[in-house]
Structure 1
Amino acid sequence: MTRNLFVFLAGSGSFALLAGAYLFQALGYPPCAMCLWQRWPHFAAIAIGVLALRFGGRGLPLLGALAAGTTGAIGVFHTGVERDWWEGPTSCTGVSSLEGLSGADLLTIDGPRVVMCDQVTWELLSLSMASWNAVLSFGLMAIWISAVMIAKGSSRTA
């Protein structure tokens, strides 16, 4: 396999994970704040993939691996918050996220929808969306690292 194929697969993987996140959102699963945090590194990985395909080298795939690892780490942290392994940000967990809302806001159908970071809204095989993001993102990180290793090997033979 070539370096560019690994870069393409890794960037496309981030694109697919983002597309899946937006599909779930369209199906009625609004994201919490931590879900949104997990999307930013995927956007970065896609941009890095485009640049890496255009310019080559090892530096950009290393940044791609960092982006994939970052979203994977956020996914692990989010999973821990969902499973009560540790505290999450007070802005999207517990009672404090309801501060500032009136009783009318809480009772109306048209009021703001509060999406809690510590609640699992969907899961498959006992893994939440955050958990799946972590698992798949660490897989993408391995693909990025493979692109780095191929680039390293090809620079020795050149």
Structure 2
Amino acid sequence: MRRLVFLFAFLVPAGLLAVAFYMEYVMGLEPCPLCWLQRFAFMGVAAVGLLAVLHNPGNIGGRIYGFLLALTAGIGVGLAGRQLWLQSLPEDQVPACGTSVDYMLEVFPLMEVLAMAVKGTGDCAKVVWTFLGLSIPGWTAVFFTLIILAGLAVLTGLVRSPARRSLS
């Protein structure tokens, strides 16, 4: 059962990243700096999930992977929450639009780019797409929360693997 949770933690972010690239390259929606950071958080979750599926660890290793899933998804939900907050601001309080992520990476050191990205820009406050009343960061917050819950279920032992049989 635990291995299915890890597979879920790999497949869901992988599918969401495919949707994000479809939205960017087919629909023409340009990702803002916070969108990029959320993508990296999904990549981190997917990497942890894939490693856990391939490793198929024992009890302690499974709990460590559960913690790492909850941690990386927690970072993602924080980033999504920041963007949702920016989207809720009145127009006169929205930060000014910034430069593209590509330009920032060419001109500024990586740590400065990360700091600017977390602050968000006016681009991050624009709602460019909704589904069932939720914007893109709203949906990413939902999926990050599901992954946090899955990671915590593994971490606390609510989801376990079947007992391994001895060859004796």
Normalising TM by the smaller chain, what interval?
0.7 to 0.9
Identity %: 25
Q: Matched residue pairs, number?
A: 136
The amino acid that maps onto 1:138 is T
Displacement, 1:146? Answer: 2.1
Aligned match of 2:104: none
* Partner residue, 2:76: 71
Shift of 1:152: 7.7
Task: Provide the rounded CA distance (Å) in 2 between the counterparts of 1:142 and 1:118.
Answer: 27
Which residue does the alignment assign to 2:6? 7
Residues 75-134 of structure 1: CA deviation (Å, up to 9, x unaligned): 11101101117x67xxxx315x27xxxxxxxxxxxxxxx971111111122211011100
Q: What does residue 96 of structure 2 align with?
A: 94
Distance 1:145 1:94, change over 3 A: same
What per-residue deviation string (whole Å, max 9, x for no partner) do you get for residues 45-94 of structure 1? 11111221233121122101111121111111101101117x67xxxx31
- 8 Å CA contact 1:3–1:148 kept in 2: the answer is no
Question: What residue identity is the alignment partner of 2:147?
Answer: L
Q: Normalising by structure 2, what TM-score?
A: 0.70
In structure 2, distance between residues paired with 1:6 and 1:153: 10
Give distance in 1, aligned partners of 2:164 and 2:51.
23
User: Contact 1:52–1:60 (CA<8 Å) still a contact in 2?
Assistant: yes
Q: Where in structure 1 are there 5+ consecutive unaligned residues? A: 99-113
Distance 1:9 1:35 in 2: 22
The structure-2 alpha-carbon separation of the partners of 1:115 and 1:5, relative to structure 1 and needing over 3 Å to count, comes to same
Contact 2:32-2:123 at 8 Å conserved across structures = yes
Contact 1:10 1:141 in 2 (8 A): no
Q: Aligned equivalents of 2:160 and 2:47: distance in 1?
A: 24
Q: What is the CA–CA distance in structure 1 between the aligned matches of 2:158 and 2:67, rounded to whole Å?
A: 11
Secondary structure of residue in 1 paired with 2:123 = coil
Question: CA–CA distance in 2 between the matches of 1:62 and 1:127?
Answer: 28
Q: Distance in 1 between matches of 2:159 and 2:124?
A: 40
Amino acid at match of 2:81: V
* Contact 1:7-1:147 at 8 Å conserved across structures: no
Secondary structure at the residue paired with 2:89?
coil
